Amino acid sequence: MTHPPQQATIETITTAKARKILRANSHNRNLRRMQVDNFAAMLKNGEWVLNGESIKLGVDGTLLDGQHRLEAVLAANTSMRTVVVRQLPVEAQDTVDTGRKRRLADLLAIEGHKDAHGLAAAINMLHPYRTGKRMDSSRTGAPTPKQALQLLKEAPGLPDSVRVARKLSNDIGGPLGIFAALHSVFRDVDPAATDEFFARLEDGLELKKGDPVWRLRRSITHTRRDRHYSQTPYYMAALIIKAFNYRRAGKTVELLAFKSGEPFPTVDGDNMRGV
């Protein structure tokens, strides 16, 4: 069967045009809401650029690729400049997005950062903390590339925090991204207390039962030993903040826990509040 020649144009996709195209979205993959939200944030912040990626339409008008970008136009209630390719054979959809998407770690590696994966994990946790969102990237979504690079400018010591967190995570287990993000937050409040806190968390030296770091270390190593016992990054972040606050105040604790429905703790002396 002979198909008409493909047509590629650069167009402004308004909300009305996005709705019209999406009406022909009959057999695309399931919508990933976080990806839509990420694209919408880029549009709202003026970060979206014409990058060559296209909205692809079949010979029958079916949407073959681009539903997340079109949904983002609706979510942001704004327009998007993009390439639109028409008159593609419908079977071309089978070859769309078969390659791996570029991730934040890939961007950071291109920028020349060492331990790009660790740094990406730290940014994905520090960003929601700084913006008053839940410290759980699976729930809040990743920052846009521009937001990630801006955060690195605002927190130039984050790569050092990643090095501390990487060693700690390797030695006793635990979430590297949470360790690095909170190390950065704690250092801004009390550098000396932070160094002592993380040093003792790693080596366990001179810790007595009841010391908040002893309790925290026990919880982390328990998680590492027992594959059936696990804690979410959100829960672990709350425990780490609580332990840090208790130790700075010179308090001992019989139990270190974060109960359901309890307000997320804040770092004493920190102007930025996580939720």
Positive or negative torsion for Cα 221, 212, 117, 51 = positive
Mean pLDDT of 106-120: 87
Q: Quick one: pLDDT at residue 65?
A: 85
Q: Quick one: pLDDT at residue 142?
A: 73
**pLDDT 10s digits, 192-213:** 999 999 999 999 999 999 999 9
Q: Quick one: pLDDT at residue 4?
A: 66
Per the prediction, the chain carries an average pLDDT of 86
Q: Quick one: pLDDT at residue 241?
A: 96
Taken in order of first residue, the domains within the chain and their CATH numbers are 7-91 (3.90.1530), 104-248 (no CATH)
Confidence of residue 6 (pLDDT cuts 50, 70, 90): confident
**pLDDT 10s digits, 157-188:** 999 999 999 999 999 988 999 999 999 999 99
Confidence of residue 29 (pLDDT cuts 50, 70, 90): low
**pLDDT 10s digits, 232-258:** 888 999 999 999 999 999 999 999 999
Confidence of residue 87 (pLDDT cuts 50, 70, 90): confident
Phi and psi at residue 175, in whole multiples of 5°? -80, 110
Mean pLDDT of 7-33: 85
* pLDDT higher at 189 or 110: 189
* pLDDT higher at 140 or 74: 74
- DSSP code per residue over the chain: -PPPPPEEEEEEE-HHHHHHHHTT--SPPPP-HHHHHHHHHHHHTT-----S-EEEEETTS-EEE-HHHHHHHHHHTS-EEEEEEEEE-GGGGGGTT-SPPPPHHHHHHHTT-SSHHHHHHHHHHHHHHHTT--S-HHHH-PPPHHHHHHHHHH-TTHHHHHHHHHHHHHHH---HHHHHHHHHHHHHH-HHHHHHHHHHHHH-TT--TT-HHHHHHHHHHHHHH-TT----HHHHHHHHHHHHHHHHTT---S-----TTPPPP--TT-SS---
* pLDDT higher at 216 or 103: 216
The answer, yes or no, to whether residue 3 has pLDDT greater than 70, is no
The C-alpha angle with vertex 127 and arms to 163 and 272, in degrees rounded to 5, equals 100
Q: Quick one: pLDDT at residue 271?
A: 53
The answer, yes or no, to whether residue 18 has pLDDT greater than 60, is yes
**pLDDT 10s digits, 119-160:** 999 999 999 998 888 887 565 667 888 889 999 999 999 999
The answer, yes or no, to whether residue 66 has pLDDT greater than 60, is yes
Confidence of residue 99 (pLDDT cuts 50, 70, 90): very low
Inter-axis angle of helices 116-130 and 176-189, nearest 10: 60
Residue with tokens 């969102």: 133
Q: Quick one: pLDDT at residue 137?
A: 58
The answer, yes or no, to whether residue 90 has pLDDT greater than 60, is yes
Q: Quick one: pLDDT at residue 122?
A: 96
CA nearest 78: which of 56, 115, 45?
Answer: 45
Neighbours of 169 (CB within 10 A): 22
